[in-house]
A and B are shown apart, each in its own frame.
Chain A
Amino acid sequence: MSDRPSPAIPLVEMRNISISFGGLHAVDDVTVDLYPGEVVGLLGHNGAGKSTLIKILSGAYKRDAGTILINGDEVTINNPRDAKAQGIETIYQTLALADNVDAAANLFLGRELRTAWGTLDDVAMEAATREVMGRLNPNFHRFKDPVKALSGGQRQSVAIARAIHFNARILIMDEPTAALGPQETAQVGELILQLKKEGIGIFLISHDIHDVFDLSDRVSVMKNGRLVGSARTSDVTKDEVLGMIILGKCPPGAVPGPGAARETEPA
């Protein structure tokens, strides 16, 4: 599977991660990794445990078992603040925006710029927001409105702006194009390629293989909370990955995980 030399130490390694909610094993012994400048697609049906796995990395959930390593060092991630301190930024499927405040307030939420007197520097925050939104979505001009009043695409660009503005090393995108039209989806694709060039590692989560296959360097497939397997996208076909998602069947080009269906099992 090493058709391209990769750096020795992964940017992120999630080893043997497990979490259960009241007896339900949402994530069961899953291991995934991510290298700098790499896009890893995390695939699986709704309820396969992808979002839960990634929320452990972003600090929204606390894992029951397993370790998280960043640049080879074990780190403690107990809450979103810990994750952000490690340079992990997340674009949630729900976008996680405070609807009643404006774009700048959302972009800087939890990391407000302050004046010399310790008060909020709204003007500086709005200026920075105008700058970053100018790059992401030049047609965006509604800086004074609460984000509730914005369209789906505009809200999405606020959420993306928030994730990339703070020099993330690791970016998690949970169904980033679910609410978008074709043109905006293409824009997000371009953005991902650009961030990749800057050496940012990206986890791309989707239940739809077509969204992520062409953008990803590797895919990891989950089913029923377990890892079916991981593969370079150059080593497998879309149909084979689809087989992993639906049947849990690991093709020859993939490295099987604990959740892979047995060879003897009828397909």
Chain B
Amino acid sequence: MVDEPIGTAAAPDQPLTARAATAGPFARFLAATEIDTRLIGMIGALAVVWIGFDVLSGGVFLTPRNLWNLSVQTASVAVMATGMVFVIVTRHIDLSVGSVLGFIGMIIGVTQAELLPELLGFGHPAIWAIALALGIVIGVLIGGLQGFVIAYLGVPAFITTLGGLLVWRGAAWWVTSGRTVAPMDQSFRLLGGGADGAIGATASWIIGLIACVGIFAMLAMSRRQRQRFKFPLRPLWAEAFLGGVASVLVLGAVAIANAYPWPVGIARRYAEANGIEIPEGGLFIPHGIAIPVLVAVGVGVVMTFIGTRTRFGRYVFAIGGNPEAAELSGINTRWVTMKIFMLMGALCAISASISTARLNAATNAQGALDELYVIAAAVIGGTSLGGGIGTVAGAMLGALVMQSLQSGMVLLGMDTPLQNIVVGIVLVLAVWIDTVYRRRTA
């Protein structure tokens, strides 16, 4: 307690080092590695869900095939959940993301299936890029409009985006009067996964190894920075442990993706087209990591970077912690708020691309109820509705938990109404546990 100035002896907290010295081995381990206990809790919850479903389904859940599909199904919601973190951290909410996804999906669909083929010719190589870019521009515009109403006109985000939920769903219908648009452009469909939309074994290993090198490089760089200013360092074993665990996770995910082969039919057609002999026992062509998963991971990395390494991200969290203080500090809080919603709109466009590509169609009902899954993913991932707290990685993990629950229930053959009941209860439970946790640690 030597750190406390006189007159403040009532303060219950002690410096980290003092606390660690008196605590048990597990607490010492946590202090040394600086791992968030909340993250451990989430990984634990995910493990329980996975193992539980695996047992209940008789070993079908934890197979490369199911996990690979799970990763692809998670991508769309995970991408939007990263943006929802910023929205909720600043004490707002966005109820319109599902409808915005539907509207942009329609625009993207009509652009690539009807407008551009007429202009450029069917199968033109630029079609997918133009459609994607247009979607992102429209997403930014929609987000900007909603953000402007929220930040500058002072209409609460709840109401603005509740209006948006109706407006953009209606607009999605209006694009084609409710007609489903299909099929999508060949190149664009790669964004949705499938046998073609995965990068294969070799490329997956290369990306996995690059990621491992990147992880160790980041640990080393941050250590050197801290040495330069003579700040306290993590013990070397803790650094090695963190890098090791992260690398094992990355390479493990790659190994699983590579253990899921192309379906026999597709593999045979591929072999015939390329004049390859089919060996005895069938041709084993691994999927590798799916492109939508790569996109989602890429978005997650970029959003984490924005949230922790940029001024904008710092302002997002400061506004969430104390809006008045942020304003008094000279932060242009309105403009930051508007930018958050613009970012959310862009992410909706990316999700819209993934989901239309996966479905190979743009439908009027696309993304319905996604707002709830996205918000649930962010909240289960530790984003506090009170503002100021949340991580992108947590939200993506939350998306994975939500999708695991849903896929698992489908695998068990549960009815949709029952699935909804379970998801609803889990959401409330997760927030309750979070509330208890916060009260304990506050």
> B residues 303-347 with Cβ under 8 Å of A?
305, 308-311, 313-314, 317-322, 324-332
Which of A23-31, A93-101, A208-216 is found at the contact surface with chain B?
A93-101
B121 within 8 A of A: no
Q: Are B318 and A101 in contact (CB under 8 A)?
A: yes
Q: Given B322, B324, B330, which contacts A110 in the complex, CB threshold below 8 Å? A: B330
Q: How far is the CB of A156 from chain B (nearest CB, A)?
A: 10
Chain A: which residue is nearest B229 at the CB level?
A: A127
Q: Is the CB of B314 within 8 A of A112?
A: yes
Q: Is the CB of A80 within 8 A of B330?
A: yes
Q: Which residue of B lies closest to A82 (CB)?
A: B330
User: Is the CB–CB distance between A100 and B5 below 8 Å?
Assistant: no
Chain B residues touching A, range? 35 or more
Known contacts being A81-B332, A123-B231, A144-B16, is A109 close to B8, with CB within 8 Å? Answer: no
Residues A84 and B330 in contact, CB atoms below 8 Å apart: yes
Knowing A96-B328, A151-B11, the reply to whether A140 touches B310 (Cβ < 8 A) is no
Give A92's nearest chain B residue, CB to CB. Answer: B328
Whether a CB of chain A sits under 8 angstroms from the CB of B210 is no
Which residues B202-257 have CB closer than 8 A to chain A? 225-226, 228-229, 231
Contact check: which of B3, B226, B229, B231 meets A140 at CB < 8 Å? B3
Closest residue of A by beta carbon distance from B311: A112
Is the C-beta of A224 less than 8 angstroms from some C-beta in chain B? no
**Which B residue's beta carbon lies closest to that of A181?**
B7
- Interface bits A150-193 vs B (CB < 8 Å: 1, else 0): 11111000000000000000000000000011111000000000
CB-defined contacts of A144 to chain B, threshold 8 Å: 16
Minimum CB–CB distance from A94 to chain B (whole Å) comes to: 8
Other-chain residue from B309, B310, B317 in contact with A98 (beta carbon distance below 8 A):
B317
Report the nearest A residue to B325, measured CB to CB: A96
**Residues from chain A with Cβ under 8 Å of B317 in the complex:** 98, 100-101
Q: A99-B321, A126-B229 are in contact. Are A182 and B7 (CB under 8 A)?
A: yes
Distance of A147 Cα from B177 Cα, bound (Å): 54
In the complex, B4 has a CB within 8 A of chain A: yes
Chain A residues, CB < 8 A from B226: 123
* Contact between A142 and B15, CB atoms less than 8 A apart: yes
Contact partner, A109, options B308, B329, B332, Cβ 8 Å: B329
Segment 123-148 of A: residues with Cβ below 8 Å from B: 123-124, 126-127, 137, 139-142, 144-146, 148
Count of A-B residue pairs with CB < 8 Å: 122
Chain A neighbourhood of B310, CB < 8 A:
118-120
Q: In this complex, what residue of B is CB-closest to A124?
A: B229
Asked whether B322 lies within 8 Å of A183 as measured between CB atoms, the reply is no
Instruction: For A79, list chain B residues within 8 Å (CB).
Output: 330
A98-B388, A151-B5, A184-B5 known; A126+B329 contact, CB < 8 A: no
B436 within 8 A of A: no
* Bitwise interface map of A from 19 to 56 toward B, beta carbon under 8 Å scored 1, else 0: 00000000000000000000000000000000000000
Q: Which chain A residue shows the least CB distance to B2? A: A139
Q: Is B13 an interface residue (CB 8 A)?
A: yes
Q: How large is the interface on A (under 10, 10 to 19, 20 to 34, 35 or more residues)?
A: 35 or more
Assuming the contacts A144-B16, A145-B13, A183-B6, asked whether A98 and B326 have C-beta atoms less than 8 A apart, the reply is yes
- The reply on B411 being an interface residue by CB < 8 A is no
A residues near B442, Cβ cutoff 8 Å: 148
Interface membership of B389, Cβ < 8 A: yes
Q: For A118, give the chain B residue with the smallest CB separation.
A: B310
Return chain A residues, CB-CB under 8 Å to B3.
139-142
8 Å CB interface, B268-325 against A: 305, 308-311, 313-314, 317-322, 324-325
Closest chain A residue to B326 by CB distance?
A98
Q: Is the CB of A100 within 8 A of B389?
A: yes
Interface residues of B in 1-56 (CB under 8 A from A): 2-8, 10-11, 13, 15-16
Q: How far is the CB of A12 from chain B (nearest CB, A)?
A: 19
Within 8 A of A (CB), among B122-155: none
Q: Which single residue of chain B is at the shortest CB-CB distance from A97?
A: B325
Chain B residue at minimal CB-CB distance from A149: B13
Contact in complex: A98, B311 (CB < 8 Å): no
Residue numbers in A under 8 Å from B10 (CB-CB): 151
Q: How far is the CB of A128 from chain B (nearest CB, A)?
A: 10
Asked if A151 and B314 sit within 8 Å, CB to CB, the answer is no
Decide if B229 touches A98 in the complex (CB within 8 Å).
Answer: no
> Are the C-beta atoms of B324 and A100 separated by less than 8 Å?
no
**Is A100 a contact of B328 with CB atoms below 8 Å?**
no
Smallest CB separation, B89 vs chain A (Å): 9
Within 8 A of B (CB), among A105-127: 105, 109-112, 114, 118-120, 123-124, 126-127
Listed A/B pairs (30) with beta-carbon separation below 8 Å: A60-B328, A79-B330, A84-B330, A96-B325, A96-B328, A97-B325, A98-B317, A98-B322, A99-B321, A100-B322, A105-B314, A109-B314, A109-B331, A110-B326, A119-B305, A119-B310, A120-B310, A120-B313, A123-B226, A137-B5, A139-B4, A141-B3, A149-B13, A151-B8, A153-B8, A154-B8, A181-B7, A183-B5, A183-B6, A183-B7
Instruction: Give residues in B with beta carbon < 8 Å to A.
Output: 2-8, 10-11, 13, 15-16, 225-226, 228-229, 231, 305, 308-311, 313-314, 317-322, 324-332, 388-389, 442
Taking Cβ atoms with an 8 Å cutoff, the residues of A that contact B are 58, 60, 79-81, 84, 90, 92, 94-101, 105, 109-112, 114, 118-120, 123-124, 126-127, 137, 139-142, 144-146, 148-154, 180-184
